Amino acid sequence: MILIFVQNTTPPVALLQSVATLSVQLKKEWGILCLTENADLVSVYENQYGEFLKTNGFPEVSIFVRQARCEQLAEFCEQLEASFLFFQLHDASHRYLRRALNFCRDLRIPYLFFKNSFSVLNLEKVVVPIGFLEEEIEKAQFASAFGRFSNAEIILLPANDYGSKAATTTDKMKTILDKFQLPYTVEKAQSDSFKIDKEAIEKAVEMGAGLVIISASRDYGLDDILFGPKELHLIRKSPVPLLLVNPRSDLYALCD
């Protein structure tokens, strides 16, 4: 199941089209999840979203409206056996995005913040920045899924570090991609691991890539708590969609 999470707002048609296309490529069902603390609004939202989807040519989509807090997002994703989450980002303010990232903190699936201004998701090229952290390898399974099922060209962008950790992880990713005979290129970045994600976004814009896969922060330090984690600032400024992967050892796989 691929889920679109909305917060009592109307999702843009480009978001619906993106998820509908991806669901066909991955051979998965898709649906809309809405959480509200007001029990009286459950049926209202069900009818509202049902009518909106039907009007825009998506009559067979599952709609899940639950009485719950947004902090329970990860719980409902597990209940619905979701393998991918699109988070409609209708408000890109610092305060709202910070709350949204907190909702996603416990997710064990990849998640993408989709701004209302985005066009339909383009998966012809996918950029994968690679830093020195061990969990960077987790991004390989999602990159390979896009390569296998969406015919995406994968661009690996290892950080320009003094150590060999990014290079070692890159070699491991290449082994996974080679297993499925997927097309990819490796371009060593100019930035180190601390700035590699920013350069990856710039590279995506330069080459017309439609997606960048980044790792979310492992832990929140004092600066993250005060000013927000690095992914908050990247999402706010990025003109291309970012797919986030939480650094956990028990991540679900996107595809078998």
Encode pLDDT of 168-194 as tens digits.
999 999 999 999 999 999 999 999 999
Q: How far apart are CA 77 and CA 81, in angstroms?
A: 6
- Residues spanned by the domain of 96: 2-115
Asked if 180 and 95 sit in the same domain, the reply is no
Number of domains in the chain: 2
Asked whether residue 255 is assigned to any structural domain, the reply reads: no
Asked if 110 and 12 sit in the same domain, the reply is yes
Beta carbons of 189 and 159 less than 8 angstroms apart? yes
Collect the ranges in the chain with pLDDT lower than 50: 220-227, 251-256
Asked if 130 and 233 sit in the same domain, the reply is yes
- CATH number of the domain that residue 239 is part of: 3.40.50.620
Asked if 13 and 81 sit in the same domain, the reply is yes
Q: Among the three residues 68, 97, 115, which one is the final residue of a domain in this structure?
A: 115
Q: Among the three residues 60, 81, 115, which one is the final residue of a domain in this structure?
A: 115
Output the pLDDT for position 224. Answer: 43
Asked if 60 and 155 sit in the same domain, the reply is no
Q: Among the three residues 59, 80, 115, which one is the final residue of a domain in this structure?
A: 115
Output the pLDDT for position 231. Answer: 84
Output the pLDDT for position 248. Answer: 63
Asked if 82 and 144 sit in the same domain, the reply is no
